[in-house]
Amino acid sequence: DCYDCGDACMSCFEEAGNCTSCRPNTYFLQLAGSATCVSSCPQQTFLADNTCQYCNSNCSSCSITSTNCTSCIANLYLEGSTCVASCSEGTFPLSAACHSCDSTCKTCAASPARCTSCPASQFLYNGACTNSLSLIHISEPTRPLYISYAVFCLKKKKKIKQ
């Protein structure tokens, strides 16, 4: 029996849309229960050996391998080539990707130099990490944060004898 395989398929099995080979400049795409040929691989797939391969389920797009993500699905962040629910320490989320904090910060938020915590032996003050203390700022030994204290001198009032 002869079948009309459609425009994209070079050959098909029993019906159009169930391609077994593709015409030049089209790529094989496996679908649920059938296969077709497409001119470009759709979202969440990548091209390998003239076949559109599916990306890892967390990837919105990928390249080279199924786990080498180049963008992530909603509510996940791209960290390197992996999609994660939250960015690791030393990075912060911005535009669906994890970006490195400034080297002076242990953790940061909103921008690389906006520190939210500091490495050991450093102190957080106004979003920056520093090694030194000033006279107007005193750090509690149990937490590496500056705490401002106002120092008042109190004079005892003399009682006036009547």
Q: What are the CA-CA distances from residue 19 to residues 37, 46, 95, 99 (Å)?
A: 7, 19, 39, 43
pLDDT for 138: 53
pLDDT in tens, 114-130: 999 999 989 898 899 98
- Output the CA torsion sign for 112, 113, 117, 118: positive
- Structure confidence at residue 153 (pLDDT): 47
SS3 assignment, position 71: strand
pLDDT digits (tens, 9 = 90+) for 48-105: 999 999 999 999 999 999 999 999 999 999 999 999 999 999 999 999 999 999 999 9
In this prediction, residue 142 carries a pLDDT of: 56
pLDDT in tens, 141-162: 555 555 555 444 455 556 666 6
Query: Quick one: tokens of 146?
Result: 């500056």
pLDDT level of residue 1 (50, 70, 90 thresholds) = low
pLDDT at residue number 152: 47
pLDDT at 13 over 70: yes
SS3 at position 43: coil
Q: What is the model's pLDDT at position 8?
A: 81
Tell me how far apart the alpha carbons of residues 32 and 161 are, in angstroms, rounded to a whole number: 101
Q: Higher confidence at residue 37 or residue 153?
A: 37
For position 127, what pLDDT does the model report?
Answer: 92
